[in-house]
Every structure is written in C-alpha cells, then in structure tokens.
Chains A and B, each alone.
Chain A
Amino acid sequence: MTPATPVPAEWPARFGDELYRFALSRVSDSEVAEELVQETFLSALASLVTFRADASERTWLFVILRRKIIDHYRRQTRAPHVGLDALHDGGATEADYFNPANGHWTGPQAPASWLRADAALEQQELHEILRLCQERLPPQQGAVFAMRFVEELSAEEICQELGLTASNYWVIVHRAKLQLRRCLEKHGMGKN
C-alpha cells in the first residue's frame, strides 16, 4: 500500500535498493552511484510540493534520478581534463581508421566479420567487454554515447544538454562507434 502522503524518511528503505541499482547501471563507481541516490532524495524532499498524490512516488523518484544521471554525464564532459575544443578530446580520429588519401578503410582496420560473435562469447561476457570499452571512451564520447543509446535522448536534446552543434554531435557519435567496435574486436569479437 502506498501512503497518500510521501514520508521522506522511509524513502531509503523503500526505494534505496532499486534506485541505487539503476544508478550503478549507468555509472560504474559505487560511490558516485550512492551520491546520485542521495542527491535524488534531497532534491525530491526540496520539491515535495510538486509531487501529485495521484502519481507514483517510485516513478517520481526515478524521474528525478534520471535527471541527476544526465547532469552527471554533463559534468563528465566538463571535467578539467577535457579540452575546450569539443572535438579534440584525446581519442582516435578518422585518420586512425580510414586512409587519409582516399577515405576508405585501411587494411587492418577494415571491419572483421562478427558472424559468430553471439556464439563465441557468453552474453554476460559480451556485456562486460562492452562496458569496459565504454569506460575507455574519451569522456565526451562516453557521455554522448550513453545519453543517445542508453538513456535514449534525441540528438537535439543532447546538443542542448552538452552545448554541441549538430555537426559536432555527429562527429562524436561516429568516433565513439568506431572506437567501440575497434575495442570490441581487440577483446575477442570476430576472432573465431
């Protein structure tokens, strides 16, 4: 039974575990995940007046947590080690994948077949490798990739959140994908 009026002191016991698991599925650091849950509770408490009794308390807290996670991605792209120039974040550039002379795949970089990818790796193992590869992306690419493909925000929303132009956004998505697939291959994809 959901009480008619939220009792904030009960939130950690009632919703703490699932909010924390959700946060931990987005950020790999348990301390950061804990902070996000804590911020969620405090924000919810501060905006208790906006809570409508006909809504689900749990859904409302998740909406706040999602917002906190997006803020976290935004902070990640503003970290001091990220250069001011949106497209020079220390990651590989197109020249590392394509022949600068003609723009076609260069020999060893050409995509190998992943025909038996699903069979070669256990799903659990595959997910772990992908997570590792995501963590190795330069901060900005990692944030854009997660916002687009995990949080499923639109390109427009991401550009607004991160202050990117549309063309910068596409370059970042493109580079993130190139780097992820190369990282996956390094970790055993396509090597049958």
Chain B
Amino acid sequence: MTKPNERKLTIARAMAEAVAQEMRVDPSVFVMGEDIGTLGGVYGNTRGLLDEFGSERIRDTPISETAFIGAAVGAAQDGMRPVVELMFVDFFGVCFDAIYNLMAKNIYFSGGNLKVPMVLMTSTGGGYSDGGQHSQCVYGTFAHLPGMKVVAPSNAYDAKGLMTAAMRDDSPVVYMYHKGLQGMGWLGTEAGATVHVPEESYTVEIGKARVARAGKDVTIVSLGMGVHHALRAADKLEAQGVSAEVVDLVSLVPLDRDTIRASVARTGRLIVVDEDYMSYGVSGEIIASVTEHDISVLKAAPRRVAFPDVPIPFARVMEQYCLPDADKIVAAWAGMQAA
C-alpha cells in the first residue's frame, strides 16, 4: 500500500496542486488563458481549479494571446500575480511583443520601480506528429531575450516547487513544460517524470541546476524531456562500462553555470542534449559556458545532440529521425571516443 507521503504525481497534477495551494493563501494569484477553466487546460495543469476557485480567478479567455498576456502585465504591475497559459509555445509568434517588449522589459524601463510578478506557462515539445507549429521547444528564444526567468522542469517534484517559486517571484517567469512529461496518456507519457511529490507547499530554487545522476567519465547536460533521454543513455553507457553524469538544468535563466562547470571539471567530457534547434541555442550556450571559463578541463571536443535546423516535420519517421534520443547520445559518446 502506498503511504500518503509517498504518493506520486504527474507533472500536470503537481502544477495544478501548486497553483491551488498558492491561490488558497494569496488572493492576488489568478489564472488566465485559453481552455484553462472547464476543460482544465489542454495539458491538464489547471484541472480542478475552476471548481474550487470559480470563473473570476480561473478565467477562460478569448483566443487573444496578445491581449491577455498584455493584460497580465498590467494586472501584475497593479498588484496581482497572474498565471497565464500560452497553450503551445509555438503560438508565441502572435503575442511575442507582449512577452518580450512588455513583460520582460517593464521592470527595467521603470528602473526597478515596478514589479511584474507573473508566470507565463507554456507547453513545449513534439514527438507525436503534431507538425511544425505545435511541436517546438524554442527554449533558446526565450532564454536569449533579457528580463524573463525561464524554467523547464523534467519531473513532478521540480514542477510543483518551480511553480510555487515562480508565483512568488516578483519578476516574470516563463514556465516551459514538456507535453511528453505531463502525464497525459494520449501524448505517450514519460514514466520517469511522475515522481514522489510532497503534499505540503514547497519551492524549488529558480536558477539552480541539479545533478540527476552522478558519474565520472562524461557529463550529459540537458533539460525537460532531454533529461530522460540522458538518463536512459547513461544506463546504456553503464552497460559499456562508461560512467555518465547527468545534469538537469531545471532553469535556463538564471543559468547555473557553476554546477555545469564543476561537473565537466570532474568528468572532462561534455554532451549537451536539447530538443530545441541546434544553432544559436541552449547547446551552444552550455558549451561556451564551459570553454570560455576553462577550456583545459576538456579531454575531448564537446558534442551536441539537438534538433537539426529544420522546421519540425510531420511524418513519424522524419520527426523521430530529428529528435534527440538515448541512442543518439550514446552515438555522440562513441563519436567523441573515435575523434
């Protein structure tokens, strides 16, 4: 029998629980977005909230991302703590002005005299043939532009703690969850994301990476779904007698470069796994963080396993060909040895 304090939750349930717990103690928190009310969110992360908090605080919006994300900025500046959902991160194209020109910049433009305490939660990731406008990660795009904290949980424990931390933060936080980790059966859920989640409210520090698995031969750095690919790859490498360390970034902004550098200093080798596009993105940033700091720790050239620079294809075989997975990480290790 499972004891209550050992219960496991999906990321979706962990997110909803964090929001509910914070809404109970903080009347300024409310949720706004498309289909987050009766439907409980397309990815389940607002399920049950409407029943408890009603339609004033769990507010379904028209399909008007520019307006409601802009409105969240205004409400946040006026003392509220909105949590808004951008259903698919791919939709950022219709509302990015509200995000990076308003949400991200108003604290700075005001010289720090304004707070913008809002959370923009948005789904990322593909792997289920939803085509190139519903499958992207674009982590690098959000992390590149200053003024937004950016987090990407890989499991339910982090998901709950990061959501609570994000709601309490006085700066805007972009919360990028991966569809394949949400625990929605129809998306082919990654079992490893459903982990023990404490019942009580707690926070996970934004800006702190986590060593998900210790090792000594190679560091595999990743985030979100990529962490699970990395952990599987580490198992496969172990069978070859290779000890891989897996670093889960957890946050992209601020980025915990110290944890990455310390790990690579221990292992001497680096593979970065990113479901976002390869060029100009997270993978390049991680490698630069190591090499510009102290290139002498590296025993081999770093490797990247990332989505190639093409729009995400629909056909299953084509999409799977492009997506990172454990075998590609193992192959990257082999390539590193052969070089």
A and B held together in a complex: no
